[in-house]
């Protein structure tokens, strides 16, 4: 069986028609993934025992005539910042090299309860900090579409497994674009749900007010199905929302006649030519499908990077204080005193980008600078969020680029952290506002590099976002 072309619905049909069992599918998926993985380094570790046990449960349910769940038999990769009981979770960091979590993240628990099969843990930038997946202590991930290029980051591993066909869907995390940007670089669908839509319990904290778990898939329906499965209130995360999770199916079948789309003018200024051409072709297609487009303004866009890199580093410096050499795995062998133990363990265990963000975060929170930096950034964040609420008074959704350019070469931007930060501009704004956003494929450049287009919607309007994305997919937008 060719596992590369499977979708959630073809797996469901195949299982129902007894063309294959979940165990056979899982065995095939595991051996295919193991054979293909050396090309990309997308998986850090495989979990065959757990996968086959889960597949066995699905087959048992099918044999008894029970509903095996919405994700029955579906091979999944899970970003290594999401904890899995008994399975090493490194966060792409040396400091957690041998960390074996004692519990499962809520999203993991829910996807397995629905019959999903976790094949293994996917590579990522260390503690999800990066835009190219080059900050992993376990080596970079290569983009399956062009092996000399980065897959994007920080969820480069999960995006690459879905693009490579070594998983059907994946769980990633997004703080400032870490799902949408790699989705666009690898030519797959990536969804950052509304903040609070999916429980963060078991997502290793980077910046708590910005962190999200969300799905990757090769089509809109699969992404929506995975989100549907993991979304909803969880008592273990007090920031998870009470809003009921609607059935995303009916919205995806609606047409988009009269749907009002805003095009934020600030987002079209600094684009690479071919990226702009592709996005414009995509917008034309939406117009042909009956959407109305209006130019709108999000006037505080130019302040988003500065705002984000204060808020996220401040939160990161606090969250990462827990890696002290006491509770989680490694401790420096050189340390003689308590203070040396903290400093040397952290100095040896963290990579350059994590250190940079801890330093910046510590500085902006330090005495005398708190008001000038952290408080100021929180006020600017409110202005950025207000830009979006005003825009959504006029339109149903926004269409924008995901990244100013397609996937770049490994090493190309590694020496200039600020330039790397600046490339996150179109994804960071939605993260700061906490609105749902997604990247869907929008054709390729002449050299065959994928371009993604971003859809941004009102808080909790995932149905509207999926409606537009599904209509775009039906009209051939993925190959525009």
Partner 1 sequence: MKLTEPEVRAIADLANLHLSDQEIARMAKDLDEILTHIDKLNELDTSDVEPMAQVLFDAGETATLRPDVVGATLDNATALANASQSGAGQFKVPKVIER
When asked if residue 366 is in the footprint of partner 1 (CB under 8 A), the reply is: yes
d(CA 304, CA 424): 9
Q: 442 to 471, contacts with partner 1 by CB under 8 A? A: 459-460
Residues numbered 208 to 237 that lie near partner 1 (CB under 8 A) are 209, 235
**What is the secondary structure of 235-292 as a DSSP string?**
TT-TTS--S----HHHHHHS--TT-EEEEEGGGSSS--HHHHHHHHHHHHHHHHTT-E
How would you label 216-255 residue by residue, b for 16+ Cβ within 10 Å and e otherwise? bbbbbbbbbbbbbbbbbebeebeebbeeebeebeebbeee
Write out the binding residues for partner 1, residues 278-317 only, by CB under 8 A: 300, 302-303, 305-307, 309-310, 317
- Of 18, 258, 273, 418, the one binding partner 1 by CB under 8 A: 418
Least distance from C-beta 97 to partner 1, angstroms?
A: 11
Segment 54 to 113, residues that bind partner 1, using CB under 8 A: 98-100, 102-103
Residues 170-189 contacting partner 1, CB under 8 A: none
Question: Which residues belong to the active site?
Answer: 79, 154, 178
Q: In the range 233-272, which residues lie near partner 1 by CB under 8 A?
A: 235, 238-239, 241-243
Q: Is 127 in the site for partner 1 (CB under 8 A)?
A: no
Among 32, 195, 267, 388, indicate the residue that binds partner 1 (CB under 8 A). 195
If the CB atoms of residues 98 and 273 are measured against partner 1, the closer one turns out to be 98
- Distance in Å, CB of 461 to partner 1, minimum: 13
Cβ–Cβ under 8 Å, residues 465 and 455: yes
- Residue placing its CB nearer to partner 1 in the complex, 31 or 239: 239
Query: How far apart are the C-alpha atoms of 29 and 223, rounded to whole Å?
Result: 19
Smaller CB distance to partner 1: residue 241 or 449?
241
Quote the CA–CA distance of 339 and 336 in Å, as a whole number. Answer: 8
**Token pair listed for 371:** 């008001």
The H or E element that residue 78 is part of is strand 75-79
| H/E segment holding residue 381 | helix 376-394
* Closest to 429 in 3D by CA, of 320, 296, 272: 296
SS3 462: helix
- C-alpha to C-alpha distances, 140 to 3, 186, 405, nearest whole angstrom: 24, 15, 20
Q: Which stretch binds partner 1 (CB under 8 A): 72-80, 224-232, 368-376, 462-470?
A: 368-376
Instruction: Quote the least distance from Cβ 462 to partner 1, whole Å.
Output: 14
* Among 46, 201, 248, 350, interactor with partner 1 by CB under 8 A: 350
DSSP H helices, 87-186, are 106-113, 156-164, 180-186
Q: In the complex with partner 1, which residue's Cβ is closer, 146 or 360?
A: 360
Of residues 195 and 472, the one with the C-beta less far from partner 1: 195
With binding defined as CB under 8 A, does residue 388 bind partner 1? Answer: no
Minimum CB separation of residue 267 from partner 1 in Å reads 18
Query: 316-345: which residues touch partner 1 (CB under 8 A)?
Result: 317, 321, 324-331, 335-344
Interface with partner 1 (CB under 8 A), residue total 74
Nearer to partner 1, 459 or 467 (CB): 459
Q: Please tell me the distance from the alpha carbon of residue 24 to that of residue 56, in angstroms, as a whole number.
A: 10
Q: How far is CA 328 from CA 97, 125, 237, 345, in A?
A: 9, 19, 22, 11
Q: Which residues ranging from 426 to 445 are in contact with partner 1 (CB under 8 A)? A: 433-434
Nearest CB to partner 1, comparing residues 172 and 434: 434
């Amino acid at each position: 069986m060719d596992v590369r072309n499977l979708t959630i619905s073809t797996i469901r049909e195949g299982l129902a028609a007894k063309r294959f069992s979940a165990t056979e599918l899982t065995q095939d998926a595991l051996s295919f993934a193991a054979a293909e993985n050396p090309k990309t380094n997308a998986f850090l570790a495989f979990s065959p025992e757990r996968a086959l046990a889960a597949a066995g449960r699905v087959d048992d349910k099918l044999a008894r005539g029970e509903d095996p769940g919405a994700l029955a038999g579906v091979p999944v990769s899970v970003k290594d910042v999401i904890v899995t009981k008994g399975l090493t979770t490194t966060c792409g960091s040396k400091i957690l090299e041998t960390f074996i979590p004692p519990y499962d993240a809520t999203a993991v628990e829910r996807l397995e309860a629905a019959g999903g099969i976790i094949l293994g843990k996917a590579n990522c930038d260390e503690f999800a900090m990066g835009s190219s997946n080059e900050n992993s202590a376990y080596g970079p991930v290569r983009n399956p579409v062009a092996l000399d290029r980065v897959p994007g980051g920080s969820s480069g591993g999960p995006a690459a497994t879905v693009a490579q066909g070594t998983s059907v869907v994946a769980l990633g995390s997004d703080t400032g674009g870490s799902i949408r940007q790699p989705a666009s670089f690898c030519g797959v669908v990536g969804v950052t749900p509304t903040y609070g839509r999916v429980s963060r319990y078991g997502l290793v904290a980077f910046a708590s007010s910005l962190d999200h778990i969300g799905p990757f898939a090769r089509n809109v329906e699969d992404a929506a199905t995975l989100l549907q499965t993991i979304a909803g209130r969880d008592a273990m995360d007090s920031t998870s929302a009470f809003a009921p999770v609607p059935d995303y199916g009916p919205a995806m079948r609606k047409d988009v006649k009269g749907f009002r789309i805003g095009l934020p003018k600030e987002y079209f200024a600094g684009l690479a030519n071919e990226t702009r051409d592709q996005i414009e072709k995509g917008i034309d297609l939406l117009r042909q499908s009956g959407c109305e487009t209006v130019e709108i303004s999000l006037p505080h866009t130019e302040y988003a990077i500065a705002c984000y890199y204060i808020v996220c580093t401040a939160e990161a410096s606090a969250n990462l204080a827990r890696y002290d050499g006491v509770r989680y795995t490694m401790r420096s062998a050189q340390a003689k005193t308590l203070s040396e133990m903290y400093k040397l363990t952290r100095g040896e265990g963290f990579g350059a980008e994590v250190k940079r963000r801890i330093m910046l975060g510590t500085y902006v929170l330090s005495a005398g600078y708190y008001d000038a930096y952290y408080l100021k950034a929180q006020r600017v964040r409110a202005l950025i969020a207000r830009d979006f609420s005003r825009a959504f008074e006029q339109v149903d959704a926004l269409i924008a680029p995901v990244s100013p350019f397609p996937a770049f070469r490994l090493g190309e931007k590694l020496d200039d952290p600020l330039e790397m930060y600046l490339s996150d501009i179109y994804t960071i704004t939605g993260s700061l506002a906490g609105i749902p956003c997604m990247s869907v494929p929008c054709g390729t450049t002449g050299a065959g590099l994928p371009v993604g287009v971003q859809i941004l919607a009102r808080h909790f309007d995932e149905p509207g976002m999926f409606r537009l994305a599904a209509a775009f997919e039906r009209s051939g937008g993925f190959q525009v």
